[in-house]
Amino acid sequence: MTTGFFHDERTLWHFGAIHTGNLPAGGWVQPSNGNFMAEAPDPKRRIVSLLDVSGMMARLDRRSADPASEEALRRVHPRDYLESFAQMSANGGGSVGQDGSFGPGGYDIARLSAGLAIDAVDAVLSGALDNAYALTRPPGHHCLPDRGYGFCLLANGAVAVEAAIARHGLSRVAILDWDVHHGNGTEAIFRDRPDVLTISIHQDNCYPINSGAASERGEGRGEGYNLNIPLLPGGGDQAYRDALDLVAAPALRRYRPELIVIASGVDANALDPLARMLAHSETFRWMMAQARALADELCGGRLVAIHEGGYSEVYAPFCAHALIEELTGERSAVADPVLDFVRAQQPGDAMRALQRRLLAEQAEALGFAAQA
């Protein structure tokens, strides 16, 4: 089996407004002496480094890509948004929306990030690769058609899906988003479309605030093709297993997609500063194993993961490494140094039972058969 890894060092040169942690510096917030942006390059760079030193990179088909074309971007983003973004980029940088700042050349870097996603999907659909992981930056799942949002400047995953529909004539694509934050941008882009099923598993009311409720099911012809699975904060490993088993997997089986795209955030990890979910590396490994099995069952193994969030410099690399190992079907000698500690922090029986009951109620409301 051949797994592609799509990455370009230039995407790690993206930078934006000065932050301290996840807060813009200024006023009462003292500037940091370290990283100057919440969505910093270091976690992603460390993913690449760990793949290199573990020997996993040698087992991957490593590729870069051309920047996304204007034609590809305009399937999602209006011309005036792209022109404004490009002009600000040429003039030294600016902001295209909430938490949407960037520096000189930011538009070109964002186009490259989207291009990585497009080429990863295209390589799998054309049969050149069995599956693929695109380490994109800046991320994309919060970006709205007409403005950036939540560190996302272009909607990488949505742009790649639209390119796949245009090039390969797909009629049913599923996007499974396990980033810890609600995939509000992806939802907005496809909310009235039956040809794209969007599933977002996220910490309830984490980001954006008041977004991603289970009651938000799409609109018009797309009603029923948008699925939100909000999880209680601190739900940990079992919450993600139950969310997939009880709700996401039955939804995918009912839909029977021709391609599964994963919005692969690793910010549900226990050490992430922007969430409170207590997942660990084996959570992510298990989720990828389920995604692979579902892709084999439903769409000939056509599976592409597009990186989203993950802000713990020390732990995001171990979680992403586990995902990529599972995607290839191989293992390395890498050992998660905090796995035992995070497993010991998992919630107790009462919390797990409450979360499972809520998910079972959602599954029943959707018409999915109960599982023991």
- Residue recorded with tokens 């990030």: 113
Q: Residue 279 has which token pair?
A: 């997942």
Is the alpha carbon torsion for 79, 189, 263, 121 positive or negative?
negative
Q: Residue 222 has which token pair?
A: 């797309």
> Are the C-beta atoms of 141 and 183 separated by less than 8 Å?
yes
Q: Which of 142, 202, 280, 307 is catalytic?
A: 142
Q: Residue 323 has which token pair?
A: 């995902």
The pair phi, psi for residue 186, each rounded to 5°, is: -60, -45
Is 221 exposed, middle or buried, given 0-12, 13-18 or 19+ CB atoms closer than 10 A? exposed
Q: What end-to-end distance do the CA atoms of the chain give, in Å?
A: 34
Q: Which residues have C-beta within 8 Å of that of residue 78, sequence separation ≥ 6?
A: 145, 146
Amino acid at 264: S
Q: How far is CA 268 from CA 142, 307, 354, in A?
A: 16, 13, 19
At 108 the three-state DSSP class reads helix
The pair phi, psi for residue 104, each rounded to 5°, is: -55, 135
Residue 202 among the catalytic residues: no
Prior bond of 31 cis (ω within 30°) = no
> Are the C-beta atoms of 87 and 155 separated by less than 8 Å?
no
At 63 the three-state DSSP class reads strand
At 246 the three-state DSSP class reads helix
> Are the C-beta atoms of 304 and 134 separated by less than 8 Å?
yes
Residues with active-site annotation: 142
